[in-house]
A and B are shown apart, each in its own frame.
Chain A
Amino acid sequence: MSNYRALTYQHESNESGLLAGAPRYFKRVLGVGAVRPTVDLQIDGGELIWSQWLAINASVALIIAAMAANGSRADQPWAVPGFYFATVLMFMPIASRLALAEVSRSERVANVMVAGLGLFMLHVIREPTFFTGHDEYLHWVGARQMMESGKLFTPNVLFPIGPSYPGLEIVSSALVDLSGLSIFVSATIVLLVARTIFIGALFLVYERITSSARVAALGCIFYMGSSTFTFFDTSFSYGSLAIALLALCLLLDLRVGEAASQVPLRMLMFFVAVLALSMTHHLTSYALAGLLSGMFFVEAIRRGRKGAALARLGATAFCACLVPYFWSRAMGNPGSNYLGPLFHAGIQEALAIMARGFHSNRQLFVSSDGSVAPIWERATAFGSVLLICVGLTLGFFRALSWAGLFAQHELASKGWRSLLEWNNSRLVLLTLVTTLYPVSMIFRLTKSAWEIGNRIGPFSFLGVGVVLAICITSLFGKGSVSTLRAIAIGAASTVILLGGMISAQGPRILVPAHYRVSADEASIEPMNINAALWAKAWLGSGNHFGADRTNSLLLAGFGEQLVSTSLQHGADAGTAIVTRTLGPGELFMLRDLGIDYLFEDLRLTTGQAVLGTYFDGGAADDLLDGPPEPTALLKFDSEPGVSRVFDNGYSIVYDVRVLSGRK
């Protein structure tokens, strides 16, 4: 059945040289210089029986997940635990199977795809009929505007920076145009394709770098523990496609680097992918530039480097830096205005937290409306972080050793100069990238920049995945035939996965039975979707609306209206909604913005905003220190010239064109 070729695993105990003074147990535990790459067992691909049964298991788990999603809508207490149980049922057997040494490469590829696509399907189960995420509406509007105008760069009031990075909308609108499918269905297909590209490319990149399909598969499995993997990077948002293109670019960079011929042609392929990435997402394209520049730097300082390899790496790094730079310049450098203040505030707050001894001003596991995550969720999330930290501690030097660093005999003979000798610059860099993980954790403690921490996550996990995989492979290289041990590894990776899901979604993982104020998926429901559709049908498209956070999305998405946003217009129409009386300032603002209608959702007065803001975080939210008053929302009833044109008992539409001078 198997051809046991060579499974090498070295523990060196040479105590001389640079590290001779270090305690022996310390070096052993950390694995400094103790690990050399293992060679995978050569197993016949067989009939992929295991993969097929694991796929059946995953699809049965999806049925349980779907029942849990429906249970959540029916307010069943078992729904959320049931959903997590389905995730465990789907994921853990695959992870356990992949931990074994006696698995063929083909099966590893198939199993990794089953896990990745299975987790993608959890997103589909959670969002089966329409978009529920805030960012998804921004891109939905962008895609529709692109199709309507037949042009790129059509302004998007909800998302001013969006038209400068239209990659996701391009692919989606192409599919809509040629297939006739709706944007929602097309977006789901595009995201499925993006997920397939990402998982496949990540596997191949890890495999190329470590020369081990086992490490590659485990690396992918651990990567899935990134908090953005299961839901954020499957939403209709530019980052979801961009992360797939990033992995593709890394793969194409490897192909350029290893080519004996055809280098310019492979460079052309790489260029096309980098251009697509630059047109898709600012931060991810900068991350690619950073990764490849880092790899070039690491290769440049390596002793014994080869000129040709360095030149190729330099060429890809140069391309990866230049293309996003020129694209950003051509678009008027929107990224710096968008990301700059966010990073500035986040870094300031993170430094303040560190100065206070890591006492956060943001309560973990507590949402803005005061609801607290159950204890088992908190324990799982902490367990996940703990496992990652332990894995990184044990795996960091093992991964560097895998890359050829800290070879004991060289340490002994050459001293510190040997620290510049390795044979795998890419793996060295990915190992160093894991240092971003604690940085992302610190950002997560902040109020102003937890999102930055969330965005750094997918990039730091490029390193975390492979380092944890090397840690597992080197620690359990010989003994991995043990099924019990494989199950333990599978359980650990499942805890990491669940921890990522919990830290990203927490108790909001499923659509709840009851409406909640400003909670995206818990606020978007059929009644206000119908109100937005009413606006489109009876008022026509393109009216200028002022509304709260959730209804702005619905009016722009379903209602095809123009909505006022602080980001685009510099003033917040919400202030006219929440003030007790209409003063000259509010009237001037309505006139200045050219507001036609105000959409007032009386449910805002019933509770705290779950996500912290009732409007878009601008002036209206600054005026509020709790829910807005009902009398403030209803003041337009007595305002001369203002008509109350729509009422569904919960929401009212006021025609304010007389006040704004539009009538």
Chain B
Amino acid sequence: MAENKVKAIIVLAIAVVWTASLRTALTTILKCIVALLCIFIIPGVLFIRFLSPSKRGIFEWCLLSLGISVALLSPLALLLHRFNALTPIGWGTALALFCLAAWHYSGRGPVAKTASFDAGEKAVAASSPGARWGGGWVARLSCVVLAIATAVGIARNGALNHRQFAYTEMWMLPSRGNDSQRVTIGVRNEEKQGRSYDLELTLNGKLIERRSSLLVRSGDTWVEEAATQFTETNKEQVVEAKLYRTEQPSLVYRHTLLKFNHVGDVSGTASP
């Protein structure tokens, strides 16, 4: 009866992981649990059941299940590689088929009916008194989990909030599309506070556009297209964008430039 239950659970897990590989609407947590079981536990359990049912205790059995599961993934990947199928559906199918095959044969494998514990293994198993779980272990284990989660949370929070540099990104790229004389200018504020900028756009040194007191909040990005009219055709055209902080209008804060060898050479295009 218990055997049937185990088999039913395995079949259910296989079905779920295969469904998960199809990217249906399973929750992430469920997908994670099923994926962990199907990658790290079930293949090894079934493989060991098929090949070598004798055990030396639960610890060794768990460890071998874990280890063999990991080891089995490499030969499976070689198989999937033949079909360019190292994909979610490929993994789901391969693991499901492998587990079904191993399960099918685990009840009738070459050693399943006749295998017995080795004499030495019996002795070790008998001489290794097992542990018991007292009533307080759930509370203590919860403390451990809580403390680890707290530690990781503290570390994550610290790492995410650690920013040595306060800075502004500026970029300029030829715009995408048929209009070859337009450029895209972007400004991203990572100064840890809102900033006001002045922007100056020149073509071959002549001012063609100026934006003053451009307010960008911390973490925000400002992007705009600007038109340029190339006038001289036989000379390198230079579009230059200079960014100033409003409170320091004489100091160039960021500087980008695009050079075109001739009119219409805008093969590099902006694509956010």
The interface of chain A, by Cβ under 8 A from chain B, is 42-49, 52-53, 55-56, 58-60, 62-63, 65-67, 69-70, 73, 104-107, 109-110, 121, 124-126, 128-129, 146-147, 149-153, 166-167, 170-171, 173-175, 177-181, 189, 193-194, 196-197, 200-201, 204, 241, 244-245, 248, 251, 255, 258-262, 265-266, 268-269, 272-273, 275-277, 279-280, 511, 513-515, 525-527, 530-531, 534, 537-540, 637, 640-650, 653, 655, 657-658, 663
Contacts and interface: CB of A to CB of B under 8 A. Distances in A.
B151 A63 contact: yes
9 contacts: A60-B147, A70-B157, A152-B81, A170-B77, A177-B91, A276-B74, A526-B165, A530-B188, A540-B271
B10 interface: no
Given A69-B155, A272-B71, A641-B259, A47 B131 contact: yes
Contact of B71 (A104, A126, A275): A275
Interface in B222-272: 236, 253-259, 261, 265, 267-268, 270-272
A511 B48 CA distance: 43
B199 interface: no
A105 B130 CA distance: 8
A121 B154 CA distance: 13
Interface in B69-95: 70-75, 77-78, 81, 84-88, 90-92, 95
Nearest to A167: B74
Contacts of B215: none
Contacts of B156: 128-129
A369 B18 CA distance: 53
A223 to B, nearest CB: 16
Contact of A245 (B34, B70, B131): B70
Given A52-B141, A109-B59, A643 B257 contact: yes
A229 B257 CA distance: 49
A649 B171 CA distance: 11
Interface stretch (B1-9, B100-108, B114-122, B206-214): B114-122
A268 B111 CA distance: 13
A513 B72 CA distance: 43
B20 interface: yes
A527 B86 contact: no
A612 B142 CA distance: 46
B198 interface: no
Interface of B: 17, 20-21, 28, 31-32, 34-36, 38-40, 47-48, 51-52, 54, 59-60, 62-64, 66-68, 70-75, 77-78, 81, 84-88, 90-92, 95, 110-111, 115, 118-121, 127-134, 136-137, 140-141, 143-144, 147-148, 150-152, 154-160, 162-165, 167-173, 186, 188, 190, 236, 253-259, 261, 265, 267-268, 270-272
A125 B165 contact: no
A104 to B, nearest CB: 7
B270 A272 contact: no
A423 to B, nearest CB: 15
Contacts of B272: 537-538
B131 A67 contact: no
A152 B52 contact: no
Contacts of A526: 162-163, 165
B150 A193 contact: no
A259 B116 CA distance: 11
State the 8 A-B residue pairs at the shortest beta-carbon distance, nearest first.
A70-B158, A59-B147, A45-B131, A47-B134, A178-B35, A276-B71, A179-B35, A62-B151
B67 A248 contact: yes
Given A174-B39, A197-B66, A42 B129 contact: yes
Nearest to A193: B40
Contacts of B59: 109, 200, 204
Contacts of A189: 36
A538 B270 contact: yes
A265 B137 contact: no
B168 A55 contact: no
A241 B108 CA distance: 33
Contacts of B165: 515, 525-527, 650
A152 B62 CA distance: 29
Given A150-B90, A204-B60, A175 B74 contact: no
Contacts of A63: 147, 150-151, 154
Contacts of A58: 144
B114 to A, nearest CB: 8
Contacts of B131: 45-48, 104, 106-107, 110
B36 A645 contact: no
Given A126-B155, A151-B84, A178-B34, 12 more contacts: A43-B129, A66-B150, A105-B129, A121-B152, A175-B35, A177-B88, A204-B60, A275-B71, A526-B163, A538-B186, A658-B261, A663-B265
Contacts of B110: 265
B141 to A, nearest CB: 7
Given A125-B152, A178-B35, A44 B167 contact: no
Contacts of A643: 256-259, 268
Nearest to B89: A177
B51 A268 contact: yes
Nearest to B266: A663
A179 B36 contact: yes
A189 B144 CA distance: 18
B144 A262 contact: no
A540 B156 CA distance: 29
B119 A146 contact: no
B35 A644 contact: no
A65 B158 contact: no
Given A106-B131, A262-B54, A655 B147 contact: no
